[in-house]
Structure 1
Amino acid sequence: MKLALIGATGYIGSKLLAEALARGHDITAIVQHPEKLPAHAKLTGIAADVTDSNALAGQLAGHDVVISAFSGHAQADVYDYYLAGFKGIVTAVKAAKVPRFVIVGGAGSLEIAPGVQLVDTPEFPDQWKGTALGARDALNLLRAETTLDWTMLSPAAHIVPGERTGQFRLGTDQLLTDANGESTVSLEDFAMALLDEVEQPKHRRSRFTVAY
């Protein structure tokens, strides 16, 4: 498949890139600094500004799927920057007429009890709140969409470097925890779950989650 990956040099995006290349896909990595990308025969790097939806649409045209690992963590005003960027990406995907849009979501919008989301608990770390709230609003925007064929994958509460095991569970809108009450997934298994969804869609126009 021909995939466009936004944020391919980031914490999660770099693992998605490695997984997609290992599966033999042709990747256009859309990033701020293409020079940070590895050299690979099936990888093309393009510098882009996600808030410039007109230019971005031209860069996305012709792909089978757009994967967004855009986060905005490096910005001072993470929430506003994330939402502005996300809206720019959505506009560009529509204009480019790309058939599918797959998004890296956040764990913050997952429920820990009926009607109670993780981001609204006192224990939720302040440093991640801007992105979590932005990702929650992005999910709500997607749920109101009438034309996009979208899927969002939210990670466990803790997504950390580890191993590619393939031994994980999938859920929908509730935070998944293990027998010890921990909610964790490796970056490698998250990437595997997302690329599985890209190749064989099972969660069209919905959000799902992955954890051990």
Structure 2
Amino acid sequence: MKKIAVIGATGYVGQAVVNELANRGHQVTAFARNTNKVAQHANIKAVAADVTSTDFAQALEGFDAVVSAFNPGWTNPNIGTDFTRGANAIVEAAKAANVPYLLVVGGAGSLYVAPNVQLIDTPDFPKEIFDGANAARHLLNDLRDRRDVNWAFVSPPALLGVTAGFSEERTGSYRLGTEDLLMNGEIPAGISVADLAIAIADDVEQQAHLFKRFTVASNS
């Protein structure tokens, strides 16, 4: 059993991660702006938090790992700016708190589809999510050479859950990748949010990708 914090605990990914970790018996602290939306569970403690507050680093002290599923919302017109400010604040708080393992949930946009070509740079990439995806790409680039904070970064596949036309089925299995967009034949691969949460929980338990980015997708 580990003490694990989840930031952005009421979001699409955050909720699934909180539930998966709690069901595995971990002590989960769920940081959220609105704690009323946090799942009720014996292993879950809901804590209201503003990641940009000066005392947030103190709130991250004492955890075995922290998962950041922070996202200011895809419909937020200032998502790029707000994501960058919040994500940078989380990284600096994790550094100050000496967090053993900070797993940042990013986007698929920074995965490579060809040599030196990332998904976000392809003509069909949706313009409405470009700013948020670009901010996540910059965050990853900033983290790559850092060794003063114990980071890892996970990129979901191109199709995440029912909102992207994929499945919500919890299969309990997944496949791992590194820097390239995972494919299912000729089309981009997907994963359910429940299976993504399994992959995230597995990685947090094993702390398997320190100073690395990885990606996951369904086996089918």
- Aligned partner of 2:11 in structure 1 is 10
- Aligned partner of 2:215 in structure 1 is 209
The Cα offsets for residues 160-180 of structure 1, whole Å up to 9 and x where unpaired, read as: 141121332111000001124
- What SS does structure 1 have at the residue aligned with 2:31? strand
- Aligned partner of 1:175 in structure 2 is 181
Is residue 101–residue 210 contact of structure 2 (8 Å, CA) maintained in 1?
A: no
Q: Which amino acid aligns with 1:57?
A: A
Structure 2: give runs of 5+ residues left out of the alignment.
163-167
Separation (CA, whole Å) in 2 of partners of 1:134 and 1:35: 28
Separation (CA, whole Å) in 2 of partners of 1:47 and 1:185: 30
Separation (CA, whole Å) in 2 of partners of 1:111 and 1:180: 15
The Cα offsets for residues 68-88 of structure 1, whole Å up to 9 and x where unpaired, read as: 000111532100100000110
- Aligned partner of 1:61 in structure 2 is 61
Separation (CA, whole Å) in 1 of partners of 2:44 and 2:55: 20
Separation (CA, whole Å) in 2 of partners of 1:151 and 1:119: 20
1:138 matches 2:144:
no
- What SS does structure 2 have at the residue aligned with 1:12? helix
- What SS does structure 1 have at the residue aligned with 2:169? coil
Q: Tell me by how many angstroms 1:13 deviates.
A: 0.6
Instruction: Give the count of matched residue pairs.
Output: 211
- What SS does structure 2 have at the residue aligned with 1:136? helix
Is residue 98–residue 149 contact of structure 2 (8 Å, CA) maintained in 1?
A: no
- Aligned partner of 1:186 in structure 2 is 192
Separation (CA, whole Å) in 1 of partners of 2:35 and 2:103: 21
- Report the aligned-residue RMSD: 1.2
Structure 1: give runs of 5+ residues left out of the alignment.
none
Scaled by the length of structure 2, the TM-score of the pair is 0.92
Separation (CA, whole Å) in 2 of partners of 1:44 and 1:197: 21
- Aligned partner of 1:23 in structure 2 is 24
1:99 matches 2:100:
yes
Q: Which amino acid aligns with 1:66?
A: V
Separation (CA, whole Å) in 2 of partners of 1:195 and 1:70: 16
1:83 matches 2:84:
yes
Q: Tell me by how many angstroms 1:145 deviates.
A: 0.9
**In terms of mean alpha carbon deviation, does 125-134 or 103-112 score higher?**
125-134
